[in-house]
């Protein structure tokens, strides 16, 4: 495994299996007597900026699947400037604000405006439960083990995923902490060389990440990591949507990364097969491979977690984060100092 610069980003990516285990073991409500009950609301809204907006997309789809309650993800800036387009008087709403730092300006202003309008209740999910966002929300889920030095979010993202999973499932199934740690450690042990190989491949410069249902938010986050860390052209799409125009961009310099679901894997494999025929190289991440999946994969990363479907979510990201890191190294970049970015966006909004 390479040991170049970017010490913070590298360490934070590799530490995730350990951090997941300790985070699940230390999990507690940081503010409030108990977590809100999703079924008590008419609408669930998740908000954030950048990575945490993509985390909100994942969370909203999971919440609606589990509870059948209308759930949506909204960028915090839209809740400031277009609140009436998203939220309506008379619908009892829970707003869940997701923020690694708990100091992002748009997220703070969105919660303040929501509170002023009296639309419902607020909850924060953050790695810094002692900061400003916590003072604005009735309830706080703090995943402090996910705190980072890096600008690009890696372990903070997957740690906050676990906090949301714990809330929506009212706790974790027995043995999940250890199984996540073991599966995550195995992925790095068995597939880090593949990530290094792909990252150093100069014949690949166009990256597409596909995911549907809950996995679309994770595909978006993988896309963002490739952009932020390696300054590479990358996009995210739902599987079937990729056929409706975006596939025109596929060529022999394309890597298509597919996050396969259980619900529509047959149709998703068909998309991967078609893009491979058009010249793309294909990287497939799935919990368990079969002959059809192996047949369309140039590169295959089986998670082999045997975890309930929602709890596998965090396992899809570390390999893709590490891949983006290796791509950055191959271009001579230092991912600890990504171009034009700051760890916390503070604006006058």
Q: Is 149 exposed, middle or buried (0-12, 13-18, 19+ CB in 10 A)?
A: exposed
Distances (CA, A) of 99 to 127, 129, 156: 8, 10, 9
pTM beyond 0.95, yes or no: no
Q: Would you say 70 and 94 are in contact if contact means Cβ atoms under 8 Å apart? A: no
Dump pLDDT digits (tens) for 160-185: 999 999 999 998 888 899 999 999 99
Decide whether 28-142 matches 176-330 in CATH topology: yes
Alpha helices (runs of H) in the chain, residue ranges in sequence order: 7-14, 16-26, 51-67, 76-81, 83-86, 105-117, 132-136, 155-168, 176-200, 215-230, 265-277, 291-296, 317-330
pLDDT for 338 equals: 65
- CA-nearest of 214, 278, 218 to 242 is 278
Q: Which two tokens stand for residue 175?
A: 């043995």
pLDDT for 122 equals: 97
Q: How is the chain split into domains, by residue range?
A: 28-142, 176-330
Query: Which residue ranges of the chain lie beneath pLDDT 50?
Result: 1-3
Report the helix count and the strand count for the chain, using DSSP H and E. Answer: 13, 11
Dump pLDDT digits (tens) for 83-140: 888 887 788 999 999 999 999 999 999 999 999 999 999 999 999 999 999 999 999 9
How large is the angle between the packed helices 155-168 and 51-67, nearest 10 degrees? 20
Q: Is 26 exposed, middle or buried (0-12, 13-18, 19+ CB in 10 A)?
A: exposed
How far is the C-alpha of 166 from the C-alpha of 9, rounded, in Å?
Answer: 26
pLDDT for 2 equals: 47
How far is the C-alpha of 214 from the C-alpha of 261, rounded, in Å?
Answer: 9
CB neighbours (10 Å) of residue 92?
A: 11
pLDDT for 28 equals: 67
How far is the C-alpha of 295 from the C-alpha of 297, rounded, in Å?
Answer: 6
CATH topology of domain 176-330: Rossmann fold (3.40.50)
- Name, in order, each residue with C-beta under 8 angstroms of 9's C-beta and a sequence gap of 6 or more: 150, 152, 154, 229, 325, 335, 336
How far is the C-alpha of 28 from the C-alpha of 82, rounded, in Å?
Answer: 34
pLDDT for 184 equals: 97
Architecture in CATH for domain 28-142: 3-Layer(aba) Sandwich (3.40)
How large is the angle between the packed helices 176-200 and 317-330, nearest 10 degrees? 30
Q: How many residues does the chain have?
A: 349
């Amino acid at each position: 495994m390479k040991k170049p610069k970017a010490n913070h980003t590298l360490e934070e990516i590799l530490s995730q299996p350990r951090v997941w285990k300790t985070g699940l073991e230390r999990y507690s409500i940081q503010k409030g007597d108990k977590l809100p009950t999703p079924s008590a609301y008419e609408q669930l809204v998740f908000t954030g900026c950048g990575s945490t907006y993509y985390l909100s997309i994942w969370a909203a789809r999971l919440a609606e699947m589990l509870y059948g309650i209308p759930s949506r993800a909204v960028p915090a800036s839209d809740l400031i400037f277009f609140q009436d387009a998203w939220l309506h008087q008379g619908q009892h709403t829970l707003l869940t604000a997701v923020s690694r730092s708990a100091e992002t300006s748009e997220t703070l202003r969105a919660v303040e405006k929501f509170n002023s309008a009296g639309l419902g209740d607020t909850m924060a999910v953050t790695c810094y439960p002692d900061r400003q966002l916590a003072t604005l929300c009735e309830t706080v889920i703090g995943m402090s083990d996910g705190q980072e030095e890096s600008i690009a979010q890696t372990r903070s993202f997957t740690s906050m995923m676990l906090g949301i999973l714990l809330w929506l499932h009212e706790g974790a199934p027995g043995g999940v902490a250890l199984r996540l740690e073991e599966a995550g450690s195995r992925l790095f042990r068995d597939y880090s060389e593949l990530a290094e190989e792909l990252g150093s491949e100069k014949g690949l410069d166009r990256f597409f990440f596909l995911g549907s249902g809950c996995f679309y938010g994770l595909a978006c986050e993988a896309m963002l990591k490739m952009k932020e860390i390696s300054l590479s052209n990358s996009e995210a799409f739902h599987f079937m949507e990729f056929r409706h125009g975006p596939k025109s961009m596929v060529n022999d310099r394309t890597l298509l990364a597919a996050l396969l679901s259980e619900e529509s894997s047959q149709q998703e494999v068909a998309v991967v097969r078609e893009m491979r025929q058009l010249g793309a190289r294909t990287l497939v991440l799935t919990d368990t491979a079969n002959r059809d999946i192996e047949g369309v994969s140039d590169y295959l990363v089986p998670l082999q977690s045997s975890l309930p479907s929602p709890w596998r979510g965090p396992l899809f990201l570390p390999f893709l984060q590490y891949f983006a890191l290796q791509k950055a190294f191959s271009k001579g970049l230092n991912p600890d100092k990504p171009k034009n970015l700051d760890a916390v966006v503070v604006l006058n909004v």
